[in-house]
Amino acid sequence: MSLPSSLSASFRRSSIFLQRRGMKYSLASNTIFGIFAVTTTSMRTVTGISAAQQQECLPPEKKQLYPVLKNEQVSSDSHILTVGLPENRELLGWEKDIPTCISVSYYNDEEEKGVLSKSYSPISHPNQPDWFQLLVKAYPPQKGGGVGAYICSLKEGKTLEAKVKAERKMHSSPHVLGRWKHIGLVAGGTGIAPLYQVLVILLQAKEECNIHVLSINRKEEDILMKKELDQIAKDHPNVSVTYSLTGTVDDESCSSWVGGQSTWHEKPCQTRPWTA
């Protein structure tokens, strides 16, 4: 099977709004659907993981090494990494239709405690065997940060240390299929990642529901996964996509943006729905 080819605003919040047969719900989190967390480490001896443990199949919730199969830069500061699963593991998580999230650990000698971690939601479907994909932004190094830059620097053949986080329940269940007739996915910057995975799950299952995606970014060049989202909107009449820019109208990249006004900035650019 060939590997597929394939988000940078300061707004890092993802939300999902769901309407369930006469009842309205809203749900928001910094990285919604972060059902599992990834932990990455630098390339040196991994604390707490013995050679014997690496040879056996550890459960997803245990910290373990994952090999980087491909690292593709998709914007000036964002990368999509294709990451392999440990030997004898077929899936990243436990079930084939529940969103996943991993926590990556980074061992930083400059930090007092030496270990940093950050959660990432894959953009690939949870039923994808043998590998998964992460959308990562390389934020500038700073005290208490640097995990994203570390992950983006990993070359093919390197490994990262991660564990899968526990399933996150949405209205008492972690499942997203067969529950809602109308779904709204609102994301800022790389927050599109967890919601893109939800979108992929819904579309592959051919759910009979209407889906609207709102992607919010500062500038047009910051929009991540735009090509993929545009293609989905073109191929699926039940899916609509709108982009909103929060930069000021004085920003050069906003000058030609047409559509309705955004409300995310005191001098906003405009919003624009996807058009064929």
Rounded distance, CA 241 to CA 232, Å? 9
Determine the Cα–Cα distance for residues 144 and 126; give it in Å rounded to an integer: 30
* Segment 41-82, tens digit of pLDDT: 333 333 445 555 555 679 999 999 999 999 999 998 999 999
pLDDT digits (tens, 9 = 90+) for 101-129: 999 998 876 655 578 899 999 999 999 99
Would you say residue 208 has pLDDT above 70?
yes
pLDDT given at position 41: 31
* CA 36 – CA 32 distance, rounded (Å): 11
Please, what are the domains in the chain? 14-33+169-273 (3.40.50), 51-164 (2.40.30.10)
pLDDT in tens, 135-182: 999 987 677 678 999 999 999 999 999 999 998 887 889 999 999 999
